[in-house]
Amino acid sequence: MDYQKLADLLFPDVTETREDIERRFPPRSLPAGANVTRIGPSPTGFVHLGNLYNAIIAERVAHQSGGVFYLRIEDTDNKREVEGAVETVINAMAYFDVHFDEGATSTGDNGAYGPYRQRQRKEIYHVFAKWLVQNGKAYPCFLTEEELTAIREEQLANKEIVTGFFGKYAEVSRNLTLEDISARIAAGQPWVLRFRAEMNDKRFTITDAIRGKLDMPCNIMDFVLLKSDGIPTYHFAHVVDDHLMRSTHVVRGEEWLSTLSMHVELFDVFGWDKPIYCHTSTLQKIDGGSKRKLSKRKDPELALAFYQQEGICKEAIWEFLLTVLNSNFEEWRAANPDASYMEFPFSLEKMSTSGALFDMEKLNNIAKDVIGRMDAETVLSHLKNWCSEYNREFLALIEQYPDRTLKALGVGKQGAKPRKDFVNWKQTCEFLSFYFDETFKAQDDMPAEISEEDRKAFFAKYLASYAHEDDAEAWFAKVRQISDELGYAVKPKDYKKNPENYKGSIVHVTNMLRTALTGMANAPDIWEISHVLGEELTRARLGKWA
Ligand code: GLU
């Protein structure tokens, strides 16, 4: 077979050589040790937590080393592509504070190694495809879907251990003559370009930065490089792009381990250095006592959109994922409570290979801590951002009462054990709703221990003696005094000891007061809340019960 003739027949329009392309993508001039990483999401419209998980790893590996982190859109599978999906990926990454140095953006491409959308790189892949054909490493295959299915069925019927397009199954296609191929092409028969595998029973070793040394059988499959529409498969596009874009590390899911041998063989055939592979574990959760993969159907928390809609704070997601990624993160956080998570020395070597466990409760606890550490101004700015997208009504309230909102966000922040009332922005809106008459809801009943008569008497006395400028101590002294006058134990332990001597305890009284003021028995400090609401609102709310 004259491979040059075959190459010209298959790719008559390709005039550039691989050297020409290499010149367009020169090695990057970066300091020694600077890593180049990327994420390569497919625009399916569904961005999942795994995308963010891998993005965080890749981002850290690049930016901690002073390198480059870029976004490549892997849109080679047009069956899966959904309108607007590229924007969805870009927006989701921006929402979670994942910043790229180059790559696809909502306004086009940014960077010298583009295009960063694979469908726009078709001509580039064809240059390398032609080179493979010229060198006897690739050939056209005209088998129809039906013929391929028949091969698969034969293999299954024969109970073959390895199934796929290899060995004797590839022979007919491999051995077509140039004349035969020309005739089929002239007749308009569709073809795919297949890789001509080495086909031996050797093994190879490779060191994965997360999994350590891997020892695997070499590839034997004549896998597809270009589909019948000329668009590359993931396998081919990955190798060409990560070479040309000069990725030093490829962070991707463990589902790619099974085809790693194909990628390795392709890199070797081209004579290119391989990137350092980092195969991450699939996210799992505990369900009914056992571990299982997160599923798109069963687990809403797999979709990144879920975190956006719930308003789960991005810092919390980062901290949570860093905890899952590096077991020493929590220790580091305890030792560095005020540091930004970006200062944590992330390391690929410390990643566990026994699976990544997702735990919503843990994420929520981290979120409470993270928000608890923020000052009120920071919380307000996050809240406004989220509300501007997901709760415009509440945004209008916040903007109508900016001082009150800021004060409300500062409640319970002083003291040795600051309150951790806020889990996510959606819940924060609900939590804050009692500060505004517009959203106030009487959620809890008044304590049953206090009669209507006592309740009225209490609020009448309370309002008569209320002085807004009282400090917390003076205020509480008055509450105690009124409780005492009405026959309620001032010390809860006295009531516990001799309940028959009292109508109730001060705890019932303060619960009543809190419920009147906030609509809830469980709320922050009454004195502090009154000072957020202001005298007028405080008196109006309590006056209803007097
Ligand atoms: N498009 C691939 C995926 O979505 C990317 C894998 C990679 O990062 O190489 O799984």
Q: What are phi and psi of 301, to 5 degrees?
A: -70, 0
Going from the Cα of 232 to the center of ligand 1, the distance in angstroms, rounded, reads 14
For the four alpha carbons of 173, 178, 180 and 183, in that order, the dihedral sign comes to positive
Spatial separation of the C-alpha atoms in residues 353 and 214, rounded to whole Å: 13
Ligand 1 probe mutation, 93, 234, 240, 249, most atoms within 8 A of CB: 234
Three state DSSP letters for 324-381: HHECCHHHHHHHCCCCCHHHCCCCHHHECCCCEEECHHHHHHHHHHHHHHCCHHHHHH
Tens-of-pLDDT digits for all 546 residues of the chain?
Answer: 899 999 999 999 999 999 999 999 999 999 999 999 999 999 988 899 999 999 999 999 999 999 999 999 999 987 766 788 999 999 999 999 999 999 999 999 999 999 999 999 999 999 999 999 999 999 999 999 999 999 999 999 999 988 999 999 999 999 999 999 999 999 999 999 999 999 788 999 999 999 999 999 999 999 999 999 999 999 999 999 999 999 999 999 999 999 999 999 999 999 999 999 999 999 999 998 999 999 989 999 999 999 999 999 999 999 999 999 998 999 999 999 989 999 999 999 989 777 789 999 999 999 999 999 999 999 999 999 999 999 999 999 999 999 999 999 999 888 778 889 999 999 999 999 999 999 999 999 999 989 999 999 999 999 999 999 999 999 999 999 999 999 999 999 999 999 999 999 999 999 999 999 999 988 889 999 999 999 999 999 999 998
For residue 439 the two structure tokens come to 């959203």
Name the residue with the closest Cα to ligand 1, atom 10. Answer: 41
Ligand 1 probe mutation, 47, 59, 71, 74, most atoms within 8 A of CB: 74
The answer to whether residue 276 sits within a structural domain is: yes
Q: Do residue 153 and residue 250 come from a single domain?
A: yes
Going from the Cα of 338 to the center of ligand 1, the distance in angstroms, rounded, reads 35
Identify the CA nearest to 322 among candidates 281, 351, 291, 280: 351
The answer to whether the beta carbons of residues 239 and 256 sit under 8 Å apart is no
Spatial separation of the C-alpha atoms in residues 158 and 170, rounded to whole Å: 17
Q: Do residue 389 and residue 275 come from a single domain?
A: no
The answer to whether residue 354 sits within a structural domain is: no
Q: Which atom of ligand 1 is nearest to the CA of 242?
A: 9
Supply the CATH number for residue 495's domain: 1.10.10.350
The answer to whether residue 159 sits within a structural domain is: yes
The answer to whether residue 79 sits within a structural domain is: no
Instruction: Please spell the DSSP secondary structure of 251-304, one letter per residue.
Output: EEEGGGGGGHHHHHHHHHHHTPPPPEEEEEPPEEEEETTEEEE--TTT-GGGBH
Range of the domain at 190: 3-16+122-280
The answer to whether residue 142 sits within a structural domain is: yes
Q: Do residue 419 and residue 497 come from a single domain?
A: no
| CA angle, residues 443, 444, 448, in degrees to nearest 5 | 160
Spatial separation of the C-alpha atoms in residues 338 and 167, rounded to whole Å: 60
* DSSP for residue 532: H
Q: Which atom of ligand 1 is nearest to the CA of 39?
A: 8
Q: Do residue 130 and residue 263 come from a single domain?
A: yes
Using the 3D structure, point to which of 220, 252, 280 is the last residue of a domain.
280
The answer to whether residue 441 sits within a structural domain is: no
Q: Do residue 456 and residue 431 come from a single domain?
A: no
Going from the Cα of 42 to the center of ligand 1, the distance in angstroms, rounded, reads 7
What Cα–Cα distance (Å) separates residue 340 from each residue in 314, 332, 333, 490?
A: 13, 11, 9, 45
Name the residue with the closest Cα to ligand 1, atom 3. Answer: 41
Going from the Cα of 252 to the center of ligand 1, the distance in angstroms, rounded, reads 6
Identify the CA nearest to 219 among candidates 154, 265, 282, 253: 265
Going from the Cα of 41 to the center of ligand 1, the distance in angstroms, rounded, reads 6
Name the residue with the closest Cα to ligand 1, atom 9. Answer: 252
The answer to whether the beta carbons of residues 199 and 167 sit under 8 Å apart is yes
Going from the Cα of 417 to the center of ligand 1, the distance in angstroms, rounded, reads 44
Ligand 1 probe mutation, 256, 258, 266, 278, most atoms within 8 A of CB: 256
Q: Do residue 425 and residue 463 come from a single domain?
A: no
Q: Which atom of ligand 1 is nearest to the CA of 238?
A: 9
Q: Which atom of ligand 1 is nearest to the CA of 51?
A: 4
- pTM of the entire predicted model: 0.89
Q: Do residue 271 and residue 150 come from a single domain?
A: yes
Going from the Cα of 234 to the center of ligand 1, the distance in angstroms, rounded, reads 8
Q: Residue 81's pLDDT is what?
A: 67
Going from the Cα of 38 to the center of ligand 1, the distance in angstroms, rounded, reads 10
Query: Residue for token digits 């009943």?
Result: 445
| CA angle, residues 540, 544, 545, in degrees to nearest 5 | 125
Ligand 1 probe mutation, 37, 38, 42, 264, most atoms within 8 A of CB: 42
Going from the Cα of 78 to the center of ligand 1, the distance in angstroms, rounded, reads 15
The answer to whether residue 483 sits within a structural domain is: yes
Q: Do residue 231 and residue 274 come from a single domain?
A: yes
The answer to whether the beta carbons of residues 224 and 137 sit under 8 Å apart is no
Going from the Cα of 262 to the center of ligand 1, the distance in angstroms, rounded, reads 15
The answer to whether residue 245 sits within a structural domain is: yes
Name the residue with the closest Cα to ligand 1, atom 4. Answer: 41
Identify the CA nearest to 415 among candidates 479, 472, 345, 342: 472
Q: Residue 201's pLDDT is what?
A: 86
- For ligand 1, residues with CB inside 6 Å are 40-42, 74, 238, 250, 252-253
Q: Residue 419's pLDDT is what?
A: 87
Q: Residue 80's pLDDT is what?
A: 67
Q: Do residue 460 and residue 412 come from a single domain?
A: no
Using the 3D structure, point to which of 231, 248, 280 is the last residue of a domain.
280
Going from the Cα of 127 to the center of ligand 1, the distance in angstroms, rounded, reads 23
Spatial separation of the C-alpha atoms in residues 97 and 385, rounded to whole Å: 13
Spatial separation of the C-alpha atoms in residues 211 and 478, rounded to whole Å: 66
| CA angle, residues 339, 345, 350, in degrees to nearest 5 | 135
Q: Which atom of ligand 1 is nearest to the CA of 41?
A: 4
Spatial separation of the C-alpha atoms in residues 538 and 26, rounded to whole Å: 69
Ligand 1 probe mutation, 238, 259, 264, most atoms within 8 A of CB: 238
Beta carbons within 8 Å of 230's beta carbon, 6+ residues apart: 122, 126
Q: Which atom of ligand 1 is nearest to the CA of 252?
A: 8
Q: Do residue 430 and residue 504 come from a single domain?
A: no
Going from the Cα of 454 to the center of ligand 1, the distance in angstroms, rounded, reads 68
Q: Residue 199's pLDDT is what?
A: 79
Using the 3D structure, point to which of 435, 466, 483 is the last residue of a domain.
435
Q: How many domains does the chain fold into?
A: 3
Going from the Cα of 75 to the center of ligand 1, the distance in angstroms, rounded, reads 10
Q: Do residue 261 and residue 126 come from a single domain?
A: yes
Terminal-to-terminal C-alpha distance of the chain: 101
Q: Do residue 464 and residue 411 come from a single domain?
A: no
